Amino acid sequence: MSLNLDKTALQIQSMVSDLKGRDLEHQKHLEAGLNGMKRTPAEYQHLLDKAERSQTTFLLAHPEEIPDATHPPPALPQSYRILATDGSQIDVDRHQLSRCYLINIGRVRLEYGQSPSAALESLPALYARPEDMVISCGSKEVAVEGTLLGIKRSVEETRHLAEMADAASPNLPTLALADGTLILWSLLSKEFPEYVVEDLLVNGYLKYLGKIQNLNTKDRQVALASYISYPGSTDVVNTLRLLYCPYEPADCTSQCDQLPNGKRPCDILSGVTDSMLFERILKPGERSALFASSSSILEKYYGEHRVYFYYLKTSEEIARVELPGWTARSEELLSLSHSLILEQCRLGHGYPVSLSEAHEQAVVSGQDRRIFNQLVEEMLTASKINPSSSAKSLSKKTRWV
């Protein structure tokens, strides 16, 4: 049965009316946030001291400078290089007895200036060996599929980024650009065993960040950054919540846990995101102050790769740019990230052109997945290996026929 559009339209109309009613309240919250940004250095210092002493239920941002500081775009280097990767995957089909998965990495190298050039490639990798299918420690093992496969793909994207940076000639300032966050939040979303975190994060992801970091010498610049489009994060707003908290220090669980949403003193900032604040503060091309991100995974594992971030106003949006500590603390690398990402957005009509191209190289369509599965079955059959599949899988094929 098709969707009843008459009934749906009535509900949409009700939703729009409700949103109009909330708009005035939202403006009050947004103004409270902007007012919170306009504080004296002494007030900011008190805020930071309170943040250190408080126990909050939300992530805080630690400003490295006055939070409402703005920075104009630095000049572009005459010649420079952009490296970018993106990935996609075909997950394990548990209805097929031939267990395997595929990770496809799109790699892009763009060089601008006196000798412009470009290289785009797609590198699929099939994993089917027993040791590829699990992460193990002694007799314990966890299957690489679903969330864990997505994390492994992120590690592979970073490995390829490090390989490209290492192979590139050292004569050009270089930005290695990733899509999305540098924080592997997914490792926190489930309680993975410590040996899984060690394998993917410590011996994988962070090791490759270190390889990129080590390419930096007196005569060679390689910055690393990631780009988050239309971010919904609230780290900066969360810190401002402490301004409106009457307790010294704050302890969200013991002081306000019993209060419903909207009744806590800090709910004056409810519904406001960081990007809403910086949309009002930044001019086109400017970046915000630098902030340090806080989360248990950063404190425990990231070390010198601890993630910092700033907000950037492109022609189309407020984007969040994340950087490892060694890029954030270098004035040259920080400026390089600002100028080059802004130019990439201009060339890409609002989104970094290198990431768009990397995505195009990496994407695996629905048709690709069907052909992949068909190829696996055909080659197994040709080798007289029975590619038996489950009744559910056969049922789906029957309906398609």
> What pLDDT, in 10s, does the model give residues 333-362?
999 999 999 999 999 999 999 999 999 999
How much is the pLDDT for 387?
Answer: 57
Up-side HSE of residue 377: CA atoms within 13 Å toward CB? 13
283: DSSP letter: P
CB 283 within 8 A of CB 311: no
Residue 146 neighbours by CB distance under 10 Å: 13
Burial 90-129 (b: 16+ CB within 10 A, else e): bebbeebebebbbbbbbbbbbbbeeeeeeeeeeeeeebee
CA 345 to the chain's CA centroid: 17
Up-side HSE of residue 338: CA atoms within 13 Å toward CB? 25
Main-chain phi, psi angles of 375, to 5 degrees: -60, -45
Q: In the structure, what pLDDT confidence band is assigned to residue 400 with cuts at 50, 70 and 90?
A: very low
182: DSSP letter: S
16 vs 169, residue with greater confidence: 169
Main-chain phi, psi angles of 348, to 5 degrees: -100, 15
Residue 401 has pLDDT above 50, yes or no: no
DSSP bridge partners of 105:
87, 123
DSSP bridge partners of 224:
176
DSSP bridge partners of 118:
110
Instruction: Read off the pLDDT of residues 225-267 as tens digits, 9 standing for 90 and up.
Output: 999 999 999 999 999 999 999 999 999 999 998 888 888 999 9
Overall pTM > 0.85: yes
Residue 243 neighbours by CB distance under 10 Å: 20
Q: Which of 282, 285, 247, 288 is nearest to 265 (CA)?
A: 247
Instruction: Read off the pLDDT of residues 202-231 as tens digits, 9 standing for 90 and up.
Output: 999 999 999 999 999 988 999 999 999 999
Domain ranges of the chain: 79-226+327-362
Up-side HSE of residue 309: CA atoms within 13 Å toward CB? 26
Residue 69 has pLDDT above 80, yes or no: yes
* Three-state SS at 81: strand
Instruction: Read off the pLDDT of residues 23-50 as tens digits, 9 standing for 90 and up.
Output: 888 899 999 999 999 888 888 899 999 9
Residue 254 neighbours by CB distance under 10 Å: 10
Main-chain phi, psi angles of 123, to 5 degrees: -125, 95
395 vs 109, residue with greater confidence: 109
